[in-house]
Each structure stands twice: as structure tokens, then as C-alpha cells.
Amino acid sequence: MSGRERPVRAHDLFWLVAGFSVWAGGFSALYGLHAIGCRAGWDEMDFVSLSVNRWALTGVYLAHITAGAALYLPLRAIAGRWQGESARTMRQVAVALTLAALASTIWSGAPVLVLEGCI
Amino acid sequence: MSRIPPITLHRALHAVWKAPRGPGALSAVNHSVVGRRFIITAFVFFAIGGLLAMLIRAQLARPENPFLGADAYNQIFTMHGTVMMFLFAIPLIEGVALYLLPKILGARDLAFPRLSAFGYWCYLFGGTIILASMLMGVAPDSGWFMYTPLSSSTYTPGVNADVWLLGVTFVEISAICAAVEIVVTILKVRTAGMSLTRMPLMAWYLLVTAGMMLLAFPPLILGSVLLELERAFDWPFFDPERGGASLLWQHLFWLFGHPEVYIIFLPAAGAVTTLIPVFARTKIVGYGWIVAAIISLAFLSFGLWVHHMFTVGIPHLALAFFSAASMLVAVPTAIQVFAWTATLMRGRPQMSLPMLYLMGFFSVFILGGLTGVMLALVPFNWQAHDTHFVVAHLHYVLIGGFVFPMLAATSYWLPLMTGRMPVFSVSRSAFWLIFLGFHGTFLIMHFTGLLGMPRRVFTYEGGLGWDAPNLISSIGSFVMAAGFALFVVDIVLQLRFGRRFRRNPWGGTGLDWAMPAPAPSYNFASLPLVTSRDPLEDNPRLGADIAAGKGYLAGAPRAEMETLCVDMVSGEPDHVLLLPKNDYTPFLMAGGLAVFFVLFLFSAYAFSLVGVVIAAVFGWRWLWSLGARTDPEPLDAGHGLVLPVHYAARSAPTILGLKYFLAANAAFFGSLIFGYLFLWTTAPDWPPPDILDIDLLRLATLAAGLAGAGVLARLARRANDKGDARWRMLALAGSALASLLTLAGLGALALLNAPSPVSHAYGAITMAVIGYAGLHVLLGVLFTAYALARHLFGYVSAVRSADMRGAEIWQAYTAITALAGLALIVLMPGAFG
């Protein structure tokens, strides 16, 4: 024991929803930004051979993938300190959910890389 | 350790917990009574919805059938969907949850028994309004999803659509109440030692489902409010000729509607997960994986709503997001199916009656899931949209994923209610009739749809290839109906002739079977210490030990209704919850709301406020009955455990309940903001001709008022924590005054500066945002006034701080949302004008 072990507490339940909250934020942001970009005519403005709309959506997409991946590091550190009866299952569930959410973010936003425009 | 004979304990507890009979039954709040009422009422509505389905199938049995006219058919298919979704499926889930939760969690009742009772009366009154409209020939007739513009006053000038909008909203109040009840009960009201990871998986399923209800129902409630405002007061949210958008309704409806499918499926899947290990004589495989799958499913289900709108002209890229998410959702569903299959493979399955229904569930639901993946693909969806293929798919999902598991659950848990076992030969015949009738009806309906037959047509020409499949579907539906009738016969026979038993007839390992059957009003004579997920397997004599008072809070020595509240994660006891006695307040408060909804339906808008006043008076009375005027002494819970009473505990359920109500409220507000942004970016004729005219000084004054009310409420709570009664009172009074002045400022903004809500959707949605802020500020005045009154009458102290914390949380929420709303309506015209 390193002496930093502690039981799972109520605020640790955050890790059960953190990954998919990032997914939900990314999904909403992509859908909303796409509508705003189409309304503002960003799909008809070019920047470095791609439309501004595509740049904006790709940026949001990558930002959410980064955020989802970044959750994993603190989760490993924090969940590694959990001890007690609930620790093992909670760790398993939290890690599985964080990774599943990251995969979901990559999958559901991927169309921004291949589809274009507001039609 | 208690040495009192079990019968003595039983008599003492029953004297305190028993439900009243006769007219006093209206005051009953016990979870078993309220849960049973929900379940029975839901099954009555199921029977009505089933009769309507038979009328539909009779009409479609042959081409050009004169049996029903178009108007009657429109009302019947609309009512069939409405009754099945809103008055059967969701209330049945609520009823099962309310009835079962304390029993599987080792508690004596729910966190807020009066809230459940209030929810039941809202459901009953709302459902009765909807049903009465059918008897009067003015039932809703625009489809169960009420699409605009068909449901707008131009095309539905009568009260038909109003009945739906008001009735369903009334019923949804019940759903929100049940969701708060379920979440708080699962998180706080469990027996000692039941950590989150020792909870039965059914509780996880219900926890996630209730969380989804809190976020999914508010968009529908908002949509209903906006459409009713359009119909009653001509605010054109959905009228494209005045800057509105019909698609806004579809978005709000399906923001609710798709998660709703999983809200219905998840509790049923919880029943499947509970029953399979029992009848396979083994433990569930993959507890942790199932928990992860449920939570994933809950989130992903909120990213699918547009797949109901693939054909409305949304850009391809947006469709691709939703198509991808629609395919993704199959993964967590499949994880559960694999866990169930693995459990069956590991165990020794017994084909008992509940297991028979589970096998029906597997075969039907998996087919429904596969056609769901087909419909998730945009090109196929375009071909099959609005055909009978979709009708077949949704019935495979809903009957397969909900009705079959609930029939299994009914067979499994009904003996707990009745104390008798089913009469097997009858129930097996019922299963086979339902199963074969179901496939006879809906399997061929896929082909009817692929042959091109559209939904919601009251008749069709002969010779299109639809005649034979429709006839087969109709015959199948009558076979299925006979099966359901036989199921009811089986229940009657069980009640009358079923073999009696004492405990645990199926060999379950959860606490629900550690009590005598029929379950007593108090559930457990004492509350056990749980040390694993299968307490009855650890100690097969646990039921007898509980009855002998060997657990915590044995009997009713203080003549109070007591149960344990625990730490959310570890399950360690942290206080004793004193539950309310039977009370007419929930019935009377729901009655007040019924007065409001009925008078509003009859366009008596001003008089309808009388109902709101009645509800508010009883709501105040309800709150006033909480707490005490002196700091309570800790209670002896037995086994050397001394715990505070809930109103002296900081983690009491009341504040948690308020937070979850506000979570639902935030979902409502978020949907309103979505509506505002949607209209700005998508609706025709924007930007609007008249923009909100507000000067910086007035805006700063409003912002200062909102922030000031929030800060002062916080200061009042902090003063209370320090025992400073004078500053507590002054800060509370200041918060109330700041709210009052802000309310006046918002009123002036609405009356003097805001554009007309009638001429353009911009004015309507802007007024809706101001109205939301104003309503919350008004309630903030009431909250702080209430806390002030409680202070004056001695109900508040540093220990008894719930009133102060409630006021603080409300004022903070109001400040945040109202400031966000004001920022939006002030900044948007500049950004996008």
C-alpha cells in the first residue's frame, strides 16, 4: 500500500459519466456547428483547399477525441487508488465506459472527414 | 439482538404501516399500494389500447372496408399509440419500480412516498382526461407524435390536439415525479452494507432509466407547452409563415421519443437480467460489463433522434452523424444479449413459465433489433419510411423488448403480491397464443410494408398485393388478443385457486424473496446487513432472521415509519429516514392540477389559474409538514448503531431530490435554448423585423437583481450554518426582495420592450425565454418567503438546514439560467442579425 489508497466516494461516480459526457458534448457541438456553419455560409468559404465549415467541424471533432483520450490518464491514476469492496467493479466500469466513449466519439463524428457541405 | 416473537413484531409494524380502507384509501402513500395502483391502472389502459388495436386490424382486414370511417380511424390509431406509450408502457415501468425497489433494496418504503402518490393521481387524472375525450368523440387524431402543422389549429381546429397536449403533459408530471423518486431511493434508501456494486442489477437498470427520464421527458413537455401556446394564444413557434418551423416540433418530440424506446426497454432488460440467473440456477455473467453497457446505452440513445427524421430534408452530413450513432447503439445492446446467453450456457436452465416468456423475448426482440439496424441505414430508411415495415419493426422492438419481459416479470413477481403460484396449464396456453399471434400479425407486416403499403391509411384498394398479408395480420392479432385474455384469466385463477406458498417459490437470491408472501405493508420486520449480491444464497434463513427482528430498526418501538438511508457508494448507514403517514395532500394537489388542465382545455384560461392556486396551497402545506421545531436526538438503530434523523442529516434525500428536479428543469431550459437556436439557424424569414429593444442599464439592473438574489440566499445559508439567526433572516429577506424587484423588471421587459409574441416566432420564443426566467424568479420569491416563514416559526437551525439549502439551490439555479437566457436573447441578434 502506498498510503494514498481510499474508498470509492460519491464524487467518483463522475467517472461513470465523464467519457460519454464528452461524447455527448462533441455530438451536440458537431450537429449545432454544422447548422450554424450552413446558415452562415461557411461551406462556400474556402481556406487552404477545404471549406471553413469542414475545418471548423474537423477541429471540433479532433478536440473532442483529444478530450476523451485525455480523461483516461487521470482516471487511471485516481481509479488505481480506489480500494475496498466496490473498487474493482467500479474501476472496471469506469475504464470500460471511458474507452467505449472514446471509440463512440471517433465513430459517430467520423463523417466530418469524408462528407461535405450543407446539401 | 431482539428476542421479540415475529408475530408480535408483525402486529406492531402493521399497526403503524397499514394502508387505510374505504374513502381513506385516497390518502394511502405506501409504495406497495401506489405501485399496485400504477400496475393495475396501466394494465387497464393496456386492455383499452389492445381493443383499439383490434378495431384497427378489423378495419384493415380487407380492402375498402366500410367498418370505420377516416375520422374514427384517425382517432383510434392515434389513441392506440398514445395509450400504449404514455398510459401503459411508462406507467407500468413506474409502477413496477415503485413496487419493487424497496423490496430489492432492503428498505421499507421509497424516499418520498407522497411524491409517488401525487404522481399516481396525476397519471390517473391525465389518463382519464385523454380517455374521456374518446368517449366524447373528440379524441386526438393527429398520430401519437402530433406532428405540426397537422396538429396546429389550422388543420386541427377542435380540441382533439389540446386533449393530447394537456393530457400527456399532466401524465408526464407523474413520470418526472417517479424518476426523481427512483433515483433518490436507489442512491440513498438501501439496507446496510448494500454498496452500489452489491446492488441487484435491476436497481442499476432502474437508476439509469430514471436518469434518462429526467432528461428525455422535458423536451416533450416543452414541445407540448409551446404547441399549446400556439394553439391557445397564437404564438407561432411552428408556423413557417410567421418565422416558425414545423420541424422544431419533430426535433423536440424525438428528443424525447427515441430515448423513450430505451426508457421502455431498459427496465424490461433489468427483469430479464434478474430472471435468467434464477431460472438458469447460476449467477449472472458480466455484472460490471452490464452496468457499463446500460450507461453507454443511455447516453447513445440521446444521439439517435434524427433517425426518425431521415426523410425531412436534413443535410447528408448531419444524417451521417445520426446513422453512425444508430448503428453504434447495437453494441451495448449486444453486450447484454451476450451476457444473458453466457449465463444460460453456464447454468442449468429450467423452462418455467417466466422462462418461456423470456425465450419469447429473445426471439422477438433480436429480430426487432436487426430490422432496427436496417432502418439505421439512410438509403434503406428512405425506402421503408412511413410504411408498414416500420410498424412491424417498432412492434417487434416494443412488444419483444417490453411486453414479453414484463409478462415474464409479472409471472415471476405476481406470487409476491398474491402469495399464490400460477395455474401453469392456462398460462402456458396463454404464452403460445400470444407468441404465435404476435408473429402472425407482425412478421408478415414487414412484407406488407416492403410491398409499399403506407402507415396511417384507413383503407386501401384491392389488387395491390396487400389483401392477403393484411388479412393474415388481422387474424394473427385476434389470436394474440385471445392470448392476452387468457393471461388475465390465469391471473384470476391464480388469485382464486393458485397454490399457496410461504417464501421464495422460485429460489431467488435477492432480498425481494426474503419476506413472506403476500409482502407485508412494511416489507421487512428488521433491515438486514448485506455482505454480497446474493444475500439469500449466503444465508437461506435470512427471511426468518429478518422476521425475528435480528436486523436494524427492528419493529416499530417509536411508532414511527422508519427506514435506513446509506452512503451512496459504500452502503454504510448514515441516518434514519422518518417516513410520512397517510396523507390526502397528494390527492388534493393533483386535483388542483386537474382543475387547471380541464379549465384550460375548455379555454377558461383565467379561471384555470384557480387550479394552480389550489395546487400551490397544498404544495405549501406538504412542505410545511416536513421537519421539526427542535433539534432531534439521534436514534438507536440496533446493534449499537446510533444514527441522526434525516432532517438533521446533511445528506438527507430532500436536497438530493431537489437537485434531480432541477436537472430535469435544466433539460427543459436546454431544450428551450435549442429551440431558440434552431429557429435562428433554420426557420424561414429570419432575422425578424422587430428585435428586442433593451438598454444596457436595464440589462445590468436585471443581472444585478438575479445575481444578488442568489448571493444573498447563499449568505443566508452560511449564516444559518454558523447559527447566526439575525443575519440568516436579513439575508433571506434581502434575497426575496431582490427577486421581487427582478420580477418587476422582467415584467416591464416583457410588456414594454419585447416584440409581439404573435407576429413572428422570434417574439414568441423570446417571450418564452423571458417567461421561463420570470416564473423561476417568482418561485424564488416563494422559496425565500417559505424559508423566512420557517425561520420565524422555529423550523430552521444550524442542524435543521434543509429549508435554507433548498432556497440557496433554487436561487442559484434561477440566477444561472435566467442570466444565460437573458444573455442569449440580447446577444443573438447582434451575432446573427
Q: What percent of chain A has pLDDT over 70?
A: 97
Residues of B in contact with A40 (CB under 8 A): 832
Residues in chain B whose Cβ is within 8 Å of chain A: 195-198, 287-289, 291-292, 295-296, 299-300, 302-303, 315-318, 320-321, 324-325, 328, 331-332, 567-570, 677-678, 680-682, 832
Residues of A in contact with B295 (CB under 8 A): 16-17, 20, 93, 97
The string of pLDDT tens digits covering residues A56-102 is: 999 999 999 999 999 999 999 999 999 999 999 999 999 999 999 99
Q: Rounded distance, CA B255 to CA B267, Å?
A: 20
pLDDT at A1 over 50: no
Residues of B in contact with A34 (CB under 8 A): 315, 317-318
pLDDT at B213 over 50: yes
The three cell numbers locating residue B456:
396511417
Phi, psi of B573 (to 5 degrees): -60, 135
Q: Rounded distance, CA B743 to CA B398, Å?
A: 46
Q: Of the candidates A89, A107, A109, which has its C-beta nearest B287's C-beta? A: A89
Q: Residue B631 has what DSSP assignment?
A: P
Q: What percent of chain B has pLDDT over 70?
A: 99
Q: Rounded distance, CA B421 to CA B494, Å?
A: 6
Cis check for the bond before B516: say yes or no (omega within 30 of 0). no
Q: Of the candidates B299, B568, B570, which has its C-beta nearest A20's C-beta? A: B299
The string of pLDDT tens digits covering residues B705-735 is: 999 999 999 999 999 999 999 999 999 999 9
pLDDT at B831 over 80: no
Residue B832, pLDDT score? 64
pLDDT at B125 over 80: yes
Residue B25, pLDDT score? 95
Q: Rounded distance, CA B152 to CA B63, Å?
A: 31
Question: Are B195 and B251 contacting, i.e. CB atoms less than 8 angstroms apart?
Answer: no
Phi, psi of A82 (to 5 degrees): -65, 140
Which residues of chain A from 76 to 115 reach within 8 Å of chain B, CB to CB? 84-86, 89-90, 92-93, 96-97, 100-101, 104, 107-112, 115
E strand residue ranges, chain A = 6-7, 46-47, 50-51, 82-83
Residue B231, pLDDT score? 97
Q: CA-nearest residue of chain A to B531?
A: A85
Three-state secondary-structure class, residue A97: helix
Three-state secondary-structure class, residue B833: coil
Three-state secondary-structure class, residue B192: coil
Q: Which helix (H) or strand (E) holds B636?
A: strand B635-638
Residues of B in contact with A64 (CB under 8 A): none
For helices B31-60 and B113-135, angle between their N-to-C axes, nearest 10 degrees: 20
Residues of A in contact with B321 (CB under 8 A): 27, 30-31, 108-109, 111
Q: Rounded distance, CA A72 to CA A76, Å?
A: 6
Cis check for the bond before B687: say yes or no (omega within 30 of 0). yes
Confidence of residue B4 (pLDDT cuts 50, 70, 90): confident
**Domains of chain B, start order:** 6-17+31-497 (1.20.210.10), 687-833 (1.20.120.80)
Question: Are B558 and B90 contacting, i.e. CB atoms less than 8 angstroms apart?
Answer: no
Question: Mean pLDDT, chain A, as a whole number?
Answer: 92
Residue B113, pLDDT score? 97
Q: CA-nearest residue of chain B to A84?
A: B570
pLDDT at A39 over 90: no
Confidence of residue B772 (pLDDT cuts 50, 70, 90): very high
Question: Are B243 and B760 contacting, i.e. CB atoms less than 8 angstroms apart?
Answer: yes
Residue B226, pLDDT score? 98
What are the Cα distances from residue B235, in Å, to B372, B395, B605, B623, B694? 37, 36, 15, 35, 22
Residue B828, pLDDT score? 85
Q: Which candidate, B125, B103, B96, B83, places its Cα nearest to that of B38?
A: B96
Q: How many CB pairs under 8 A join A and B?
A: 115
Question: Mean pLDDT, chain B, as a whole number?
Answer: 95
Residue A3, pLDDT score? 59
The string of pLDDT tens digits covering residues B505-535 is: 999 999 999 999 999 999 999 999 999 999 9
pLDDT at A2 over 60: no
Residues of A in contact with B289 (CB under 8 A): 92, 96
Cβ-in-10-Å burial (0-12, 13-18, 19+) of B579 comes to: buried
Q: Map B208-264 to HEC letters.
A: HHHHHHHHHHHHHHHHHHHHHHHHHHCCCCCCHHHCCCHHHHHHHHHHHHHHHHHHH
Q: Residue B420 has what DSSP assignment?
A: B
Q: Rounded distance, CA B111 to CA B107, Å?
A: 10
Q: What percent of chain B has pLDDT over 90?
A: 90
Residues of A in contact with B568 (CB under 8 A): 10, 13
Confidence of residue B630 (pLDDT cuts 50, 70, 90): very high
Confidence of residue B307 (pLDDT cuts 50, 70, 90): confident
Residue B833, pLDDT score? 60
Residue of B204 and B369 predicted with greater confidence: B204
pLDDT at B259 over 80: yes
Cβ-in-10-Å burial (0-12, 13-18, 19+) of B821 comes to: buried
The three cell numbers locating residue B649:
442529516
Q: Rounded distance, CA B477 to CA B59, Å?
A: 12
B138: number of CA atoms within 13 Å, CB side? 14
pLDDT at B1 over 50: no
Q: Of the candidates B197, B320, B331, which has its C-beta nearest A86's C-beta? A: B197
Cβ-in-10-Å burial (0-12, 13-18, 19+) of B697 comes to: exposed
Residues of B in contact with A32 (CB under 8 A): 677
Question: Are B342 and B285 contacting, i.e. CB atoms less than 8 angstroms apart?
Answer: yes
The string of pLDDT tens digits covering residues B661-693 is: 999 999 999 999 999 999 998 898 888 888 888
What are the Cα distances from residue B413, in Å, to A108, B21, B272, B410, B505? 40, 24, 12, 5, 10
Domain-wise residue ranges, chain A: 18-113
The three cell numbers locating residue B629:
421545531
Average pLDDT (B395-402) is 95
Mutation for A interface: B312, B317, B532, most A CBs within 10 A: B317
* Contact between B299 and A118 using a beta-carbon 8 Å cutoff: no
Residues of B in contact with A13 (CB under 8 A): 568-569
Mutation for B interface: A21, A88, A89, A97, most B CBs within 10 A: A89
Task: Write the DSSP string, B641-692.
Answer: EEE-BGGG-TT-HHHHHHHHHHHHHHHHHHHHHHHHHHHHHHSSS-S-SS--
Cα B581 to chain centroid, rounded: 24
Q: Which residues pair with B578 in a beta bridge?
A: B562
Q: Which candidate, B118, B113, B50, B49, places its Cα nearest to that of B86?
A: B49
Residue A64, pLDDT score? 97
- CA distance to partner chain A, nearest, from residue B717 (Å): 23
Residue B243, pLDDT score? 95
- CA distance to partner chain A, nearest, from residue B101 (Å): 21
The string of pLDDT tens digits covering residues B66-92 is: 999 999 999 999 999 999 999 999 999
The three cell numbers locating residue A76:
487511471
- CA distance to partner chain A, nearest, from residue B298 (Å): 10
Confidence of residue B2 (pLDDT cuts 50, 70, 90): very low
E strand residue ranges, B141-211 = none
Q: Whose grid coordinates read 483516461?
A: A72
Q: Which candidate, B625, B633, B631, places its Cα nearest to that of B582?
A: B625
The string of pLDDT tens digits covering residues B467-478 is: 999 999 999 999
Residues of B in contact with A90 (CB under 8 A): 196-197, 569
Average pLDDT (B88-111) is 97
